[in-house]
């Protein structure tokens, strides 16, 4: 046995990792080696997607022959709900459903209703590419979804079709956004990943469009998640550049953070019409305040977006582990957490040192969700 905080992992024959857990896990709130509490849970409900965004699931890698998870390997809604209930007992208060494209998972509103009914889940949100939203918005709202984020990287059809790489028209995402408004899910968050030379020209049209509609537009720096997108620092448009671009036409005023660990730096329009946020994950990393745990669709826990391996929970879950055993595993994983990849990457970039090595096994965004 290992004491809490001294977690050992073993690679099993099936390639998944297992860890040894201390039986002495105390019921007190759990913090990691850098003093960060557990607060947010991202749940990926599928590794599949109907888009092939070039920065996330490049078509050359995720082609016809790509082996996605078989259905039997996905956690059931009951398993997801049980794990969430246990995580809530250890500090999780915010839950976000993501993927892959979460709306590809059949009957997702049933999962939303199950999670919404859990005491202690103060916030329940969903991130989607919006392609299937027109069909599902009312059911999601009815099931108790509280907040919705739609990812949209351009308003002009040609750029949007090129970015999703499956020729999907922007009008259908905008129809999804309208359906979400009609279902009472507004104000929405709209996430835009900005890439140098690809969609910078869309920053101002997006700002004007969503300002008029009262949704919160958030600009995200393109990140070196996974190992398939061919990320280069030169492709990143720093958040300060995006702010300057908007401020020149629509003057902005900085807003204070609302809580510890808020990833977006917020700005309001000086002349009214809501706010924008920038997520400077590359130029100003926020590892120091990261309180996020990620659960993959097949039941692995990742403690960092840039992780190289996950911790298997599905194995013990399906082998009949008790609630106490599962909680002890999660607490041990969190207590041993020392991830701060973005800080190390940015420090290396600024000082001209080599970037941290990217393990070819580094997990992809589509597997653990954004």
Residues of this chain that bind ligand SF4 (CB under 6 A): 49, 51-53, 56-57, 99-101, 129, 151, 366
Rounded to a whole number of angstroms, the minimum distance from the CB of residue 192 to ligand SF4 is 11
Query: Strand runs (DSSP E) across 49-154, as ranges?
Result: 94-98, 123-128, 147-151
Give bridge partners of residue 67 from the DSSP assignment.
none
With CB under 5 to 8 Å by kind, the binding choice for 225 among ligand SAM, ligand SF4, none is ligand SAM
Residues 6+ apart with CB under 8 A from 62: 49, 52, 366
With CB under 5 to 8 Å by kind, the binding choice for 128 among ligand SF4, ligand SAM, none is ligand SAM
Q: Which helix (H) or strand (E) holds 206?
A: helix 203-213
With CB under 5 to 8 Å by kind, the binding choice for 57 among ligand SAM, ligand SF4, none is ligand SF4
What mask, x for binding ligand SAM by CB under 6 A, covers residues 327 to 366?
--------------------------------------xx
Residues 6+ apart with CB under 8 A from 282: 221, 222, 223, 224, 233, 236, 238, 342, 345, 346
Of 144, 157, 97, which Cα lies nearest the Cα of 117? Answer: 144
**Residue closer to ligand SF4 (CB basis): 22 or 127:** 127
Tell me if 222 contacts ligand SAM by CB under 6 A: yes
Tell me if 225 contacts ligand SAM by CB under 6 A: yes
Q: Tell me which residue has its CB nearest to ligand SAM.
A: 370
Tell me if 236 contacts ligand SAM by CB under 6 A: no
**Residue closer to ligand SAM (CB basis): 99 or 299:** 99
Rounded to a whole number of angstroms, the minimum distance from the CB of residue 79 to ligand SF4 is 22
Rounded to a whole number of angstroms, the minimum distance from the CB of residue 123 to ligand SAM is 17
Residue 53, classed as helix, strand or coil, is: coil
Rounded to a whole number of angstroms, the minimum distance from the CB of residue 370 to ligand SF4 is 7
Residue 123 near residue 149 (C-beta atoms within 8 A) = no
Of 250, 280, 258, 255, which Cα lies nearest the Cα of 266? Answer: 255
The 216-221 sheet, strands edge to edge: 252-254, 265-269, 275-279, 216-221, 189-194, 147-151, 123-128, 94-98, 40-44, 292-295, 300-302, 311-312
**Residue closer to ligand SAM (CB basis): 188 or 193:** 193
What mask, x for binding ligand SAM by CB under 6 A, covers residues 122 to 141?
-----xxx------------
For residue 69, what are its two tokens? 């998870």
Q: Which residue in 101, 275, 298, 312 binds ligand SAM (CB under 6 A)?
A: 101
Q: Which residue in 43, 49, 242, 301 binds ligand SAM (CB under 6 A)?
A: 49
Give bridge partners of residue 236 from the DSSP assignment.
195
Give bridge partners of residue 219 from the DSSP assignment.
192, 278
Tell me if 56 contacts ligand SAM by CB under 6 A: yes
Interface residues with ligand SAM (CB under 6 A) are 49, 55-56, 98-99, 101, 127-129, 151, 191, 193, 220, 222-223, 225, 229, 365-366, 369-370
């Amino acid at each position: 046995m290992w004491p809490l905080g001294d977690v050992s992992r073993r690679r099993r024959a099936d390639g998944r990792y297992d860890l040894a857990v201390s039986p002495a896990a105390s019921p007190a709130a759990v913090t990691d080696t850098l003093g960060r509490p557990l607060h947010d849970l991202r749940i990926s409900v599928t590794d599949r997607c109907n888009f092939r965004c070039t920065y996330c699931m490049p078509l050359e890698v995720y082609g016809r022959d790509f082996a996605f998870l078989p259905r039997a390997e996905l956690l059931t809604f009951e398993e997801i709900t049980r794990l969430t209930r246990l995580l809530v007992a250890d500090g999780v208060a915010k839950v976000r459903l993501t993927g892959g494209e979460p709306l590809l998972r059949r009957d997702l509103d049933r999962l939303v209703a199950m999670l919404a009914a859990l005491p202690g889940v103060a916030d329940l949100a969903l991130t989607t590419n919006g392609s299937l939203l027109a069909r599902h918005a009312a059911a999601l709202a009815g099931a108790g979804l509280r907040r919705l984020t739609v990812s949209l990287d351009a308003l002009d059809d040609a750029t949007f079709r090129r970015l999703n790489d499956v020729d999907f028209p922007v009008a259908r995402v905008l129809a999804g956004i309208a359906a979400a408004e009609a279902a009472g899910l507004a104000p929405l968050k709209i996430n835009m990943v900005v890439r140098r030379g690809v969609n910078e020209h869309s920053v101002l049209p997006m700002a004007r469009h969503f300002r008029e509609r009262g949704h919160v537009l958030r600009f995200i720096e393109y990140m070196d998640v996974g190992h398939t997108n061919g990320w280069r620092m030169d492709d990143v448009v720093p958040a300060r550049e995006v702010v300057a671009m908007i401020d020149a036409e629509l003057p902005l005023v900085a807003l204070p953070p609302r809580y510890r660990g808020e990833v977006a730096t917020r700005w309001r329009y000086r002349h009214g019409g809501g706010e924008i946020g920038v997520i400077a994950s590359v130029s100003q990393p926020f590892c120091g305040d990261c309180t996020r745990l990620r659960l993959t669709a097949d039941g692995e826990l990742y403690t960092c977006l840039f992780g190289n391996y996950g911790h298997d929970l599905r194995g013990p879950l399906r082998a009949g582990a008790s609630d106490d055993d599962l909680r002890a595993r999660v607490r041990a994983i969190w207590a041993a957490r020392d991830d701060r990849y973005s800080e190390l990457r940015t420090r290396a970039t600024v000082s001209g040192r080599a970037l941290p090595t990217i393990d070819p096994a580094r997990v992809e965004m589509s597997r653990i969700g954004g």
